[in-house]
Amino acid sequence: MNDVKAGPEEEWVKSGEVRISDLAAELGLTKGTVSRALNGYEDISKKTRKRVMEAATKRGYVPTTQARRLAMGLTETIGLVLPPMPSQPVNTFISEFIHSVSAALHLHGYDLLVHSANSEESEVEPYRRLVQSRKVDGFIIFRTNEKDPRVNYLLNEGFPFVTHGRTARMAEHDWFDIDGEKAFRDATSHLIKLGHQRIGFVGGGKEFFSAQLRLKGFRTMLEESCLEKVPSLEQPGDLTGQGGEIAAQNLLKQTRPPTAILCANDATALGVMKAARELGFNIPEELSVIGYDGIALGAYIDPPLTTLTFSIEESGKEMVNLLMRRLKSPDLPVISKLASAILKLRGSEGPPSSIQNKNMENCL
Amino acid sequence: MNDVKAGPEEEWVKSGEVRISDLAAELGLTKGTVSRALNGYEDISKKTRKRVMEAATKRGYVPTTQARRLAMGLTETIGLVLPPMPSQPVNTFISEFIHSVSAALHLHGYDLLVHSANSEESEVEPYRRLVQSRKVDGFIIFRTNEKDPRVNYLLNEGFPFVTHGRTARMAEHDWFDIDGEKAFRDATSHLIKLGHQRIGFVGGGKEFFSAQLRLKGFRTMLEESCLEKVPSLEQPGDLTGQGGEIAAQNLLKQTRPPTAILCANDATALGVMKAARELGFNIPEELSVIGYDGIALGAYIDPPLTTLTFSIEESGKEMVNLLMRRLKSPDLPVISKLASAILKLRGSEGPPSSIQNKNMENCL
DNA sequence: TTGTAGGCGTTATCAG
DNA sequence: CTGATAACGCCTACAA
């Protein structure tokens, strides 16, 4: 169990009880020399370096992060602020995202500080505190709004960050996003090819920029396909299951309900499916539903949820890369990365039950 | 937008550019005095304190966390290590848990450091690194195994931590847990009262201690009710949806399949329901399913998942309280907290389709 | 190639 | 009550 075999004269110390000064004393060197040897400076004799290295491993020396960071003037820590709790109950996306970001940061020797916002205070307050107390070197922000106070604050402070999602000021900061417009064009097109002519859309709140782009993709494809645009088929949502339920009721209680519904995210789609079942609609026979995010549990419901998705692991990596670059060279020009989502067919969509053979010629 | 109204002669500085030495110089005091005034020491004249306070707010002084922590010899940070990624895809529990822990820590002025484990290295490796580099003052460990190497390591190091779940060495460390044994007795009893006589159980792997206790509760209630114990109705699982699928297949393909299945967690239950549907079982008419955890999305599937649950927010608070107590007084005796889960009926269980009126008299 | 000395920004312990 | 002075543990010029 315990792999420590203490020699006869050797006294064992608990982890982290060895200081750099101890090593120095033991080796008859100074702290400075030991430090440089350990940190791979060139101006150290091979012999000395070897001695130092060996002593370090032997005594189990590991530098104290706090002290090193203070001396170097950085925290090697990135902040991630979670949105207030109750708003996102049905969301595996967040934990998957945290995981991927944390793993990616770790490769760069950075830590992830997770902070939870409470709904009573302003959205920027947590960021302000973290910046002022200098607990982090940068932020990862997700689910951006078009006019995002967090972005405004950080840009104003000149504090490094990357967003997952675009904003009105996207020309001024690094960002990563998934091309939701294209994704929704694809999904809409898919539904149209299946024969759907009345397609509903449940959005994500007009502050949430990416949701706007998804709506845009939806509308664009409708136009290209000469389907009439019915305003009542576009419902607002809030990216939660509950929001989906309400929107679905508004859609399905209409005299001519849609035969398919596109949702701004998977949580919304789950709510839509729930409401649909309660109103007696069979999925996918009487109603097709498509979500967005690709959360894993979508595969475990009945029927499995067809969704638009992009690897969360990839997203995390990309964002971390952008952020690391920014930290290393603050003055580099802003860059961004736009990834394409994939339509993952799982079974919650299909041809409409009664295909009305309306004229479907290409309008051009 | 910008609430900073700089006076004519007043030069504005970015957040965190004011040092304690600046304040001291400005006020004609020493750093020490300023520090004590700010930290509420008693031996400071009211007048001086007031001057210091005002100057501090006026200049927007906020102490630099790194430096303060180095001086005080603590990190005010708690570590939480996430299990390797692919193992828990269907799990909102984790993000809800992170949220609650982080919020609770924040009330005590502590930060949460989230670290993700990768499956290639030993389970204790992340803990070892965090301890050695002194990045955290303590840990929150969840999903403990009966013989838990992480617990062994930390106990051996004498490093503070609290677990969510019991272990073989639970007498030696603080822990919080939900009384899974009682919970499963309750759930089993509920099913029996509904008329079920063949009840299946999908466990959580025999390393996972709490899952063992759940199994125990299940068995106890079976005995008390004189239902015969059928070994083939107890299947192992791994707390994932996939594990649930496999277990369900083993259960439902038997010549006399169970009419109800109890699952060690909700993720498992989702897998069970998926497999059941694929094998043509209607839920709850032909098969009742009960999960454990109370993840929010359980309410959004069809039928909504009946589950055993305890407020994740409460859990987080309790654990943080235990940990804070330990950090303040390392030598206090070990304490623990056992909470009762509630059976949340949502619709995935009901009476069996054909109630065989076997003799159901009380065996005593 | 190594030692010396100072600094990172606090808090803490003494005198005075 | 307040001012020196010394930690905290490490990094890094600069000097030798």
Distance (Å, rounded) from C-alpha A102 to C-alpha B114? 7
Q: How many residues does chain B have?
A: 364
Average pLDDT over all residues of chain A: 89
**A79 has pLDDT over 90:** yes
Average pLDDT over all residues of chain B: 89
Cβ contact A302–B66 (<8 Å): no
What's the Å distance between residue A282 CA and nucleotide C5 C1'?
79
Chain A residues with CB-CB distance to B121 below 8 A: none
**How many other CB atoms are found less than 10 A from the CB of residue A36?**
18
**A75 has pLDDT over 70:** yes
pLDDT band of A300, cuts 50, 70, 90: confident
> Taking the alpha carbons of B125, B126, B127, B131 in that order, is the dihedral positive or negative?
positive
3-state secondary structure of A138: strand
**Which residue from A minimizes the CA distance to B148?**
A1
First to last CA, chain B: 75
Cβ contact B92–A96 (<8 Å): no
CB-CB contact of A346 with A266 (8 Å): no
Count Cβ atoms within 10 A of the Cβ of residue B187 and give its class: 0-12 exposed, 13-18 middle, 19 or more buried: buried
Q: Average of pLDDT values for B326-334?
A: 95
Count Cβ atoms within 10 A of the Cβ of residue B321 and give its class: 0-12 exposed, 13-18 middle, 19 or more buried: middle
The per-residue pLDDT for B25 is 93
Locus of tokens 């990357």: A162
**Which residue from B minimizes the CA distance to A14?**
B157
**A7 has pLDDT over 50:** no
Give the residue from A85, A82, A89, A91 showing the smallest Cα distance to A298: A91
Residue range(s) of every CATH 3.40.50.2300 domain in chain A: 77-179+312-340, 180-309+344-359
Chain B residues with CB-CB distance to A114 below 8 A: 98, 102, 112-114
Distance (Å, rounded) from C-alpha B304 to C-alpha B346? 5
Mention the CATH class of domain A77-179+312-340: alpha beta
What's the Å distance between residue A64 CA and nucleotide D5 C1'?
25
Q: Which nucleotides of C are covered by protein (CB under 7 A)?
A: 1-13
CB-CB contact of A190 with A155 (8 Å): no
**Which residue from B minimizes the CA distance to A272?**
B300
Chain B residues with CB-CB distance to A115 below 8 A: 102, 106, 111-112
| Residue pLDDT, tens place only, A229-286 | 899 999 999 888 889 999 999 999 999 999 999 999 998 999 999 999 999 999 999 9
Q: Which residue blocks in chain A are alpha helix, DSSP H? A: 20-27, 31-38, 46-59, 65-72, 92-107, 125-132, 149-157, 180-194, 209-224, 241-252, 266-278, 312-328
**How many other CB atoms are found less than 10 A from the CB of residue B24?**
18
First to last CA, chain A: 75
Locus of tokens 């993720």: B267
The per-residue pLDDT for B87 is 52
C-alpha dist (Å) from residue A303 to A280, A306, B12: 15, 9, 59
Q: What are the residues facing A208 on neighbouring strands?
A: A145
Residue range(s) of every CATH 1.10.260.40 domain in chain A: 9-72
CATH code, residues A180-309+344-359: 3.40.50.2300
Using C1' positions and the CA of B21, the closest nucleotide is C9
Cβ contact A103–B116 (<8 Å): yes
Whether residue A303 is preceded by a cis peptide bond, meaning omega within 30 degrees of 0, is: yes
Count Cβ atoms within 10 A of the Cβ of residue A96 and give its class: 0-12 exposed, 13-18 middle, 19 or more buried: buried
The Cα angle at residue A159 between residues A154 and A165, in degrees rounded to 5: 55
pLDDT band of A128, cuts 50, 70, 90: very high
The per-residue pLDDT for B95 is 84
| Residue pLDDT, tens place only, B124-142 | 999 999 999 999 999 999 9
Tell me which residue in B65, B85, B296 faces A133 most closely, judged by beta carbons. Answer: B65
Q: Between 1.10.1060.10, 1.10.260.40, 1.10.4160.10, 2.40.50.100, what CATH number should domain A9-72 receive?
A: 1.10.260.40
Mutate to test the interface with A, among B61, B90, B92 (most CBs of A within 10 A): B92
Q: Which residue blocks in A149-261 are alpha helix, DSSP H? A: 149-157, 180-194, 209-224, 241-252
**B10 has pLDDT over 50:** no
pLDDT band of A359, cuts 50, 70, 90: very low
C-alpha dist (Å) from residue A174 to A187, A288, A330: 28, 36, 11
pTM: 0.88
The per-residue pLDDT for A242 is 87
Residue B176 half-sphere exposure, CB side, CA atoms within 13 Å?
Answer: 23
Q: Average of pLDDT values for B64-74?
A: 95
The per-residue pLDDT for B129 is 95
The per-residue pLDDT for A160 is 97
